[in-house]
Structure 1
């Protein structure tokens, strides 16, 4: 699943692929808004920690894989 996190006062965003489900990511984001920081793991085992006051937005992509080739 693709995840994008926008950071306040920054033109760049954090983008990575995660093995977590959409529900797990959403629960982590909602919990982080009151806790002080957001911590998520990517598919390669790296951990991203973002202070919650700096989060501008979190985009959670679809879990479906992309089709390759022509659609008949």
Structure 2
């Protein structure tokens, strides 16, 4: 699953590919915002991404784009 995190005062969004479900991502975000803590996501390579919840501008959870290479008609 692809997760895009918009961070305040950052020119680019963070794009993370993770095995977590949308419900797990939403739950982790709700917990982080509720406690004013860190939002943590583990990507598909096992790396951990931490973002202060107060600095998250938006979060986009989607299916990702796998297998699209080249031109489509």
Q: Which range, TM-score by smaller chain? A: 0.7 to 0.9
Moved over 4 A (4+): 65-68
Q: Shift of residue 10 of structure 1?
A: 1.1
The residue that corresponds to 1:38 in the other structure is 39
Give the unaligned 5+ runs of structure 2.
69-73
The residue that corresponds to 1:55 in the other structure is 56
In 1, Cα distance between equivalents of 2:67 and 2:14: 25
Q: Shift of residue 49 of structure 1?
A: 0.4
1:16 and 2:9 aligned: no
In 2, Cα distance between equivalents of 1:5 and 1:32: 14
Give the unaligned 5+ runs of structure 1.
none
**What is the total number of aligned residue pairs between the two structures?**
68
Q: Shift of residue 61 of structure 1?
A: 0.5
Q: What's the TM-score once normalised by structure 2's chain length?
A: 0.82
In 1, Cα distance between equivalents of 2:42 and 2:67: 25
| Matched residue SS, 1:12 | coil
Q: CA RMSD in A?
A: 1.9
